[in-house]
Amino acid sequence: CSGGGLLMYSDSSPSKRTLTADGQEIKKKKVVVLGSGWSGYSFLSHFNNPNYDVQVVSPRNFFLFTPLLPSVTNGTVEARSIVEPIRGLMRKKGFEYTEAECVKIDPSNKKIHCKSKDSTSLKGTTEFDMDYDILVIAVGAKPNTFNTPGVEEHAHFLKEADDALKIRRSVINCFERASLPDLTEEERKKILHFVVVGGGPTGVEFSAELHDFLVEDVAKIYPKVQEFTRITLLEAGDHILNMFDKRITAFAEEKFQRDGIDLKTKSMVVGVTADEISTKERGSGEVVSEPYGMVVWSTGIGSRPVIKDFMQQIGQGQRRVLATDEWLRVEGCDSVYALGDTATINQRRVMEDIAAIFGKADKGETGTLNKKEFKSVVKDICQRYPQVELYLKKKKLRNIANLLKSANGDNTELSIETFKQALSEVDTQMKNLPATAQVASQQGKYLAKCFNKMEKCENKPEGPLRFRGEGRHRFQPFRYRHFGSFAPLGREQTAAELPGDWVSIGHSSQWLWYSVYASKLVSWRTRSLVVSDWVRRFIFGRDSSS
C-alpha cells in the first residue's frame, strides 16, 4: 500500500503458465481488452483460442444495446432491458474481468495504468498497473461538444444508460415544475421548451420519441400544460439525416414539420447558459438566444483523453482519430489493435501501391501483364481496396476485368500505363466507415476470428499475395458488410435504407425495425424483456414516474 490513501498494486505477470500433457510449460500470451461495448463484447463473444489468457478492463460491467437507448428516455423501454451483464460471458469463456477505467497506455513498456472507483479507499479510487502482451482497444468515443461554452455544464448527453435515465427524470421534472401553481405563461413555456442539438440519427430519433411521449401520454397526464410544450431541433448543416438517402431526409423533414417539431437547419449553437441557448444563423450571422427547459446534445463524437494521449506517444498526435491498418493493428505501435468508434482504418490508395501491385503480378518481368498474370491480382485488388468495388458499382461494371478491357481494347498484354489509367479514378470512392454498432460488432468478430486461427497462420505464413509492408500476415483484411440503416421517426414509423438502393418508409418498416433489433439483441433474456416492455407500453402506455 503506498502513501496518500491510494492503494497501489501491480499485476506484473503478463502471462500465466500452464503445463501440457507431457509436463512441458507453455507460456500463454495475455490479451487485455479495454471496453465492453459493441466492439469489445463482440470480440469477446467470438474469441475461442485457449492459447491466450484474456483479461477485460471496463468501467461498465455490462454491454449496452445503444440502438434502443432513445426509447429509454421516455419509458418505452426500461434501461434494465437493454443491458447485458458481462459476468456471464466471462464465466462461460474463462476470461477475467476488472471493473476499472484505463487512464494511460504505455506502449513502450506494454503496460496500462487503470483507476477504479472504490468507495472503501480514502480517495475514492484505486489505481493499478497491468501488463499485456497484446492490447485490444475498444473504448468507444465520447460526445463531442466542439468546446461550445456551457454544454458540459447545462446540456444532457445521450450515450450511456445513466444518461437516458437522467433525461427521463428531467423531462418528467419539467412537467411537474411547469404544473406548479402561480407560474406565468412565459415561465411555463420556458420550462416546457425542449431543445435537441444535432440532426443525426440519434438527435432525430430522440426528438421523435419525445414528440410521441408529448402527444400520446402527456396529453392525458398533464392536460393543463400540454399547450405550452415545444420541441426545437437544431442542426448546423442544411439538412437533418444527411448521411441517409435524400428521400428519407425529405420525408423526415416534412414529418417533423407536420408534427409541429420546430426544425431549424443552418443554426449553429454558440453557447448554453443555465436558462438560454444561443444559436448563430448561417448566412445572416445573426445570434439568437432562446429560453429553454432542457437541452439534449447529440452532435457527434470525439476521442477520449486516454486515446489522445496514446496518439501523442505513438506519433499520431496530428490526427483526429486513432488510425489502424486494414487488419485493425494500430499504426506506429506493436501488438496493439483498435476497433469500433475509437479508431478508423487508414485505407490505402490503389494509386500509391500501383507499381508494387503491377510488379508482383508481372512474374515474367516482361513489363506487361498477360491474361494469366492479370487474373492473379484481380481478386487481391478487390479484397484489399474496397473502393474498387464501389467504383465498379458506380460505373455499373460487373467486374474489374471489364474495366481493364474497356481501357485496353483488343490488346492481349496490359501495360503499366494502361493499368494506371484504368484505375486512376478508383480512389475517389474511398470512404471512412461510419461510427456505428454495425461496424463495431463486425470488427470485433473479425479480430476474434483472426486470433482464433493465429497458430495456423503463423505456422503457414504464405499468403495468396503479399503486398508491401504486410510481412508474414496472411489474414484477409477487414471488410465491412452493410446491412442497411434505420431511422425511427416516431409514431410507429421508421425509414429504412437497405443495400441495393432500397428505401422504405412507413409502418411496415417499423415492424422490420422491431424484428431486426429484437433478433440482434444479444441474449434471450434481453430480447424477452424488450418485447414485454413494448407490449406493456402498447397496452398501458408509458410510465411517467421520475
Segment interacting with Mg ion, rule: CB under 5 A, options 27-35, 84-92, 283-291, 509-517: 27-35
* From 125, 148, 202, 509, residue interacting with ligand FAD (rule: CB under 6 A): 202
Cell numbers 461498465 correspond to: 60
**Contact call for residue 40 and Mg ion (CB under 5 A):** yes
Stretch 411-450 residues interacting with ligand FAD (CB under 6 A): 435-438, 440
**Contact call for residue 35 and Mg ion (CB under 5 A):** yes
Strands (E), 354-445: 368-369, 414-415
**Contact call for residue 366 and Mg ion (CB under 5 A):** yes
- Going by C-alpha positions, the residue among 163, 449, 105 that lies closest to residue 309 is 105
* From 75, 107, 198, 340, residue interacting with ligand FAD (rule: CB under 6 A): 340
* From 29, 30, 159, 193, residue interacting with ligand FAD (rule: CB under 6 A): 159
Stretch 123-142 residues interacting with Mg ion (CB under 5 A): 138
Residue 403 is which amino acid?
L
Q: What contacts 397, CB < 8 A, 6 or more positions away?
A: 403, 406
Q: Which is nearer to ligand FAD, 84 or 101 (CB)?
A: 101
For the chain, helix, strand, coil in percent to 5 are 40, 25, 35
Q: Which is nearer to Mg ion, 194 or 358 (CB)?
A: 358
**Contact call for residue 200 and ligand FAD (CB under 6 A):** no
C-alpha 425/C-alpha 119 separation (Å) is 59
Which one of ligand FAD, Mg ion, none interacts with residue 362, CB within 5 to 8 A by kind? Mg ion
C-alpha 467/C-alpha 253 separation (Å) is 47
- Closest distance to ligand FAD from the beta carbon of 366 (Å): 48
Q: Within 13 Å and on the Cβ side, how many CA atoms surround 315?
A: 7
Grid cell at residue 255: 414529418
Segment interacting with Mg ion, rule: CB under 5 A, options 45-53, 210-218, 288-296, 340-348: 340-348
**Contact call for residue 209 and ligand FAD (CB under 6 A):** no
- Closest distance to ligand FAD from the beta carbon of 340 (Å): 2
**Contact call for residue 364 and Mg ion (CB under 5 A):** yes
C-alpha 205/C-alpha 469 separation (Å) is 44
Grid cell at residue 233: 431541433
* From 78, 341, 362, 497, residue interacting with ligand FAD (rule: CB under 6 A): 341
Would you tell me how many other CB atoms lie within 10 Å of the CB of residue 352?
Answer: 10
Segment interacting with Mg ion, rule: CB under 5 A, options 124-132, 324-332, 342-350, 524-532: 342-350
How many H-runs (helices) and E-runs (strands) does the chain carry? 19, 30
Q: What contacts 395, CB < 8 A, 6 or more positions away?
A: 403
- Going by C-alpha positions, the residue among 431, 489, 71, 440 that lies closest to residue 241 is 489
**Contact call for residue 44 and ligand FAD (CB under 6 A):** no
To the nearest 10°, report the CA torsion of 253, 254, 259, 261.
Answer: 30
Q: Which is nearer to ligand FAD, 106 or 187 (CB)?
A: 106
Segment interacting with Mg ion, rule: CB under 5 A, options 37-45, 116-124, 178-186, 188-196: 37-45
- Closest distance to ligand FAD from the beta carbon of 391 (Å): 25
Element (H, E) at 55: strand 52-58
Q: Which is nearer to ligand FAD, 128 or 391 (CB)?
A: 128
Degrees to nearest 5, angle at CA 278 with 275 and 280: 175
Would you tell me how many other CB atoms lie within 10 Å of the CB of residue 103?
Answer: 15
Contact letters (x/-) for ligand FAD, 265-304, by CB under 6 A? Answer: ---------------------------------------x
- Going by C-alpha positions, the residue among 300, 308, 343, 304 that lies closest to residue 141 is 304
Could you tell me whether strands 111-117 and 101-106 are parallel, antiparallel, or unpaired per DSSP bridges? antiparallel
**Contact call for residue 326 and ligand FAD (CB under 6 A):** no
- Closest distance to Mg ion from the beta carbon of 437 (Å): 7
Cell numbers 444561443 correspond to: 278
Which one of Mg ion, ligand FAD, none interacts with residue 158, CB within 5 to 8 A by kind? ligand FAD
- Closest distance to ligand FAD from the beta carbon of 37 (Å): 2
* From 38, 132, 213, 228, residue interacting with Mg ion (rule: CB under 5 A): 38
Contact 114, 130 (CB under 8 A): yes
Q: What is the 3-state secondary structure (H, E, C) of 143-196?
A: ECCCCCCCHHHHCEECCCHHHHHHHHHHHHHHHHHHCCCCCCHHHHHHHCEEEE
Q: How far is CA 231 from CA 117, 195, 266, in A?
A: 37, 6, 17
Which one of Mg ion, ligand FAD, none interacts with residue 159, CB within 5 to 8 A by kind? ligand FAD
* From 82, 102, 252, 447, residue interacting with ligand FAD (rule: CB under 6 A): 102
- Closest distance to ligand FAD from the beta carbon of 270 (Å): 24
Cell numbers 464465466 correspond to: 91
* From 77, 79, 89, 158, residue interacting with ligand FAD (rule: CB under 6 A): 158
Contact letters (x/-) for ligand FAD, 120-149, by CB under 6 A? Answer: ------------------xxx---------
Total residues interacting with ligand FAD, rule: CB under 6 A? 33
Q: What contacts 324, CB < 8 A, 6 or more positions away?
A: 330, 331, 337, 338, 343, 344, 345, 346
Stretch 57-86 residues interacting with ligand FAD (CB under 6 A): 57-60, 66-67, 69-70
DSSP state letter for 330: B
Q: Which is nearer to Mg ion, 126 or 344 (CB)?
A: 344
* From 78, 101, 362, 380, residue interacting with ligand FAD (rule: CB under 6 A): 101
Please report, as ranges, the residues that interact with Mg ion according to CB under 5 A.
35, 37-40, 64, 66, 138, 344, 362, 364, 366
Please report, as ranges, the residues that interact with ligand FAD according to CB under 6 A.
34-40, 57-60, 66-67, 69-70, 101-102, 138-140, 158-159, 202, 304, 306, 340-342, 435-438, 440
